[in-house]
C-alpha cells in the first residue's frame, strides 16, 4: 500500500505596521532584489480592521464545514525540540536563543552566553528591535512595484539617498574605549578561553556589525530547523569527523552512536589493540604506555606468514566487541548492532609486525543462524582497502562454512562496498570451478556443495555473467572461455600473496551457546 505524506501549511496574514520614512528602509535594488527577511509574519491581533475580522470569521466557518479536526495540530518550534540535547558552551543551561524566539537552543550559533548576551537581552533587547526593522523593510518591499520592474534601470533618487546614508553610517566608528568602558567590556576570552565569542565592538562600524549579527541570527535559526528535521550534524553535535587509530588518522564516513561527551569532540583517539576510545592525544599516549594488549582477545585460529585471524566471543569479551561495532559503524551505513553482541562471534583479521597485531578487518557471525548466514557484518579498515583483504575475509567465512559442512550466504542488506566485494568473489569462485570442471553436465547443487556458496548467489552471478540460458525447456550453463582466460591471466599476475590457506586453519566449529 502506498502512503503519501502531505505537509500542512498554515496561512497567516501579516499585521500591518507603521513603515518608516523613505530614508529609513532600504529601497529595492535595480536588479529587483531586496534584503532577506528572517522573521515570520505574525498572526493578526484584535486590533485588525473590519475587513480582517470578516475574513477571520469566514475562514473559521469554512474550517468547521470541512471538519479538519482529524488533522494533527501543528506544533511550535520549541515544542518539537529534543530536551535531551545540550549546548556545548561551558556553563550554559541551554535556555534561550540568540533570535529571542525559542525557549531553548542546542548549538553554539544560537547560544546567548557564547555571544556574551543573556536570554532576556535576546528576547527584549537588540534582537527584538532588529526583527521589527526587518519586518518593516519586508512590508515596504511588498508594497513596491514588481521586482522585475526596476531591472536594467538607473538607480532611483530614493536608492541614491539610501546609498549615501549607508556610507555615512559606515564612517561612524569609535576607535577607542575609555577606562570605564574597558573595565565593563573586558574581553570574555581572557577568562573563558575559546568558550565565548570575542568582543566585536569598535572593530568595524555599527552598521556592519549589525549586518553580521543578523547573519548570525539567521544562520542559527536555519541550523535549529535542520536539526529538528534530522538533517544537520550540528557544530559541537554528535558527528565524529575523524579518528586517530594507530599511525593513521582516518576520516569517518557515517555517524556512530558513541557517548555524547565523546561524539561532540569531532575527533576520537583510539587504542588500535584494545579499541578503547579517548578524548585527547595525551590520554592516548598515557594509555599506550600502560596497555598490555598486543592482539585481539580470544583464540587465534589461523596464521599464515604475518596474517592471523582471532575468534572473539561476544559473550566473553563484551566490551571489546562493543567497541569494535562502534568503530565499524563509522564506515558502514546499514549497521544497526552496537551493544547486543552476546549472540555473535567475531572473526578479527590482523597483520603482525614487531609492535603487535594491527586490525585489518573483521566479520561477525551469529552463533545460531536460522537462515544459515555465515556473515552478519563485514568490514575492512579504510587504510587496508583495495589490497585484497576484503576477499580474504569473505573467503575465510566460506572456509568456515565448508568445515561446518554448511552452505552459507551473507546477511542482507549489504553495503555498497560489500556488495561489490561479494559479487567479485562469487565471480572468481565460479570461473575457477568452471576452469577445472571436465564433465559434460554441471549441477548448481554440486557447485554449491563444493564451494559452500548459496545456490541463489550462484544463479544470480551466472545471470550477471550471461552464462545461464534457457533453451528447449532446460537451463544451460555456458562455458565462456574468454571470461575464464581473463580470470586466469589476472590470477597469474596477482600471485598467491593474498589468499587463504585452508591448511593453516586450526578450528573446531563451536557448539551453540
261 — phi, psi (to 5°)? -65, -25
Structural contact between residues 442 and 424, judged by C-beta atoms closer than 8 angstroms: no
The pLDDT score that the predictor gives to residue 127 is: 47
Is 135 in the active site?
no
pLDDT in 10s for each residue of the chain, 513 residues: 333 333 333 333 334 444 444 445 565 554 444 443 333 333 344 445 555 555 556 555 555 544 444 444 444 433 334 445 667 777 787 788 777 777 777 777 778 778 777 777 777 655 445 555 555 555 555 545 444 445 556 778 888 888 888 787 777 765 555 555 555 455 555 565 566 777 776 677 777 777 887 887 777 777 666 665 544 444 444 578 899 999 999 999 988 888 888 888 888 999 999 999 999 999 999 999 999 999 999 999 999 999 999 999 999 999 999 999 999 999 988 777 778 899 999 999 999 999 999 999 999 999 888 888 999 999 999 999 989 899 999 999 999 999 999 998 998 888 777 888 899 999 999 999 988 888 778 888 888 999 999 999 999 999 888 888 888 787 788 888 888 888 888 888 877 667 899 999 999 887 754
Nearest to 255 by CA among 264, 246, 247, 346: 264
| CA 339/CA 30 separation, integer angstroms | 61
The pLDDT score that the predictor gives to residue 24 is: 53
Structural contact between residues 239 and 233, judged by C-beta atoms closer than 8 angstroms: yes
Structural contact between residues 507 and 403, judged by C-beta atoms closer than 8 angstroms: yes
The pLDDT score that the predictor gives to residue 419 is: 85
Structural contact between residues 278 and 268, judged by C-beta atoms closer than 8 angstroms: yes
| CA 321/CA 313 separation, integer angstroms | 8
Q: Strand order of the sheet with strand 356-366? A: 299-304, 307-313, 344-353, 356-366, 377-380
Nearest to 507 by CA among 347, 293, 375: 347
- Cell numbers found for residue 410: 551473507
To the nearest 10 degrees (0 to 180), the angle between helices 416-436 and 481-494 is: 110
The pLDDT score that the predictor gives to residue 252 is: 92
Nearest to 380 by CA among 339, 420, 340: 420
33 — phi, psi (to 5°)? -100, 130
The pLDDT score that the predictor gives to residue 177 is: 53
In order of 7, 431, 472, the CA distances from 13 in angstroms are 19, 71, 73
The pLDDT score that the predictor gives to residue 338 is: 74
Burial grade of 106 (CB within 10 A; 0-12, 13-18, 19 or more): buried
Give the active site residue among 235, 351, 366, 411: 411
Amino acid at each position: 500500500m502506498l502512503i503519501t505524506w502531505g505537509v500542512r501549511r498554515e496561512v497567516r496574514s501579516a499585521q500591518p505596521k507603521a513603515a518608516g520614512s523613505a530614508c529609513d528602509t532600504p529601497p529595492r535594488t535595480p536588479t529587483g532584489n531586496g534584503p532577506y527577511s528572517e522573521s515570520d509574519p505574525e498572526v493578526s491581533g484584535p486590533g485588525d480592521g473590519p475587513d480582517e475580522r470578516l475574513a477571520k470569521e469566514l475562514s473559521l466557518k469554512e474550517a468547521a464545514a470541512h471538519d479538519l479536526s482529524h488533522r494533527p495540530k501543528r506544533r511550535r518550534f520549541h515544542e518539537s525540540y529534543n530536551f535531551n540535547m545540550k549546548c556545548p558552551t561551558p556553563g550554559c543551561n541551554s535556555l534561550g536563543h540568540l533570535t529571542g524566539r525559542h525557549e531553548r537552543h542546542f548549538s553554539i550559533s544560537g547560544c546567548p552566553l557564547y555571544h556574551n548576551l543573556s536570554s532576556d537581552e535576546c528576547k527584549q533587547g537588540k534582537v527584538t528591535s532588529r526583527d521589527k526593522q526587518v519586518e518593516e523593510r519586508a512590508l515596504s518591499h511588498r508594497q513596491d512595484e514588481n521586482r522585475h520592474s526596476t531591472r536594467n534601470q538607473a538607480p532611483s533618487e530614493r536608492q541614491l539617498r539610501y546609498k549615501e546614508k549607508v556610507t555615512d553610517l559606515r564612517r561612524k566608528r569609535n576607535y577607542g574605549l575609555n577606562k570605564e568602558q574597558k573595565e565593563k567590556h573586558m574581553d570574555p576570552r581572557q577568562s573563558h578561553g575559546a568558550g565565548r565569542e570575542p568582543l566585536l565592538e569598535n572593530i568595524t562600524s555599527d552598521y556592519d556589525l549589525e549586518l553580521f549579527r543578523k547573519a548570525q541570527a539567521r544562520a542559527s535559526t536555519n541550523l535549529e530547523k535542520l536539526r529538528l528535521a534530522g538533517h544537520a550534524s550540528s557544530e559541537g553535535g554528535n558527528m565524529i569527523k575523524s579518528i586517530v587509530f594507530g599511525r593513521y588518522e582516518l576520516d569517518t564516513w557515517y555517524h556512530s552512536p558513541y557517548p555524547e561527551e565523546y561524539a561532540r569532540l569531532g575527533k576520537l583517539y583510539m587504542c588500535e589493540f584494545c579499541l578503547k576510545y579517548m578524548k585527547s592525544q595525551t590520554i592516548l599516549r598515557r594509555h599506550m604506555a600502560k596497555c598490555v594488549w598486543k592482539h585481539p582477545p580470544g583464540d587465534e585460529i589461523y596464521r599464515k606468514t604475518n596474517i592471523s585471524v582471532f575468534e572473539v566471543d561476544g559473550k566473553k569479551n563484551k566490551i571489546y566487541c562493543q567497541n569494535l561495532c562502534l568503530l565499524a559503524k563509522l564506515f558502514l551505513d546499514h549497521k544497526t548492532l552496537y551493544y547486543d553482541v552476546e549472540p555473535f562471534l567475531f572473526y578479527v583479521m590482523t597483520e603482525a609486525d614487531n609492535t603487535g597485531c594491527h586490525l585489518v578487518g573483521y566479520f561477525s557471525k551469529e552463533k545460531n543462524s536460522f537462515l544459515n548466514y555465515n556473515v552478519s557484518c563485514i568490514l575492512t579498515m579504510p587504510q587496508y582497502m583495495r589490497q585484497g583483504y576484503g576477499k580474504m575475509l569473505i573467503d575465510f567465512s566460506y572456509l568456515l562454512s565448508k568445515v561446518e559442512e554448511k552452505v552459507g550466504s551473507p546477511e542482507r542488506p549489504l553495503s555498497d562496498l560489500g556488495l561489490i566485494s561479494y559479487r567479485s568473489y562469487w565471480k572468481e569462485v565460479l570461473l575457477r570451478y568452471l576452469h577445472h570442471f571436465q564433465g559434460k553436465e554441471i549441477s548448481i547443487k554440486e557447485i554449491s556443495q563444493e564451494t559452500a556458496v548459496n545456490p541463489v548467489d550462484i544463479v544470480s552471478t551466472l545471470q550477471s555473467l550471461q552464462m545461464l540460458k534457457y533453451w528447449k525447456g532446460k537451463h544451460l550453463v555456458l562455458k565462456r572461455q574468454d571470461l575464464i582466460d581473463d580470470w586466469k591471466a589476472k590470477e597469474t599476475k596477482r600471485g598467491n600473496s593474498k589468499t587463504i590457506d585452508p591448511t593453516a586453519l586450526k578450528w573446531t566449529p563451536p557448539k551453540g551457546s
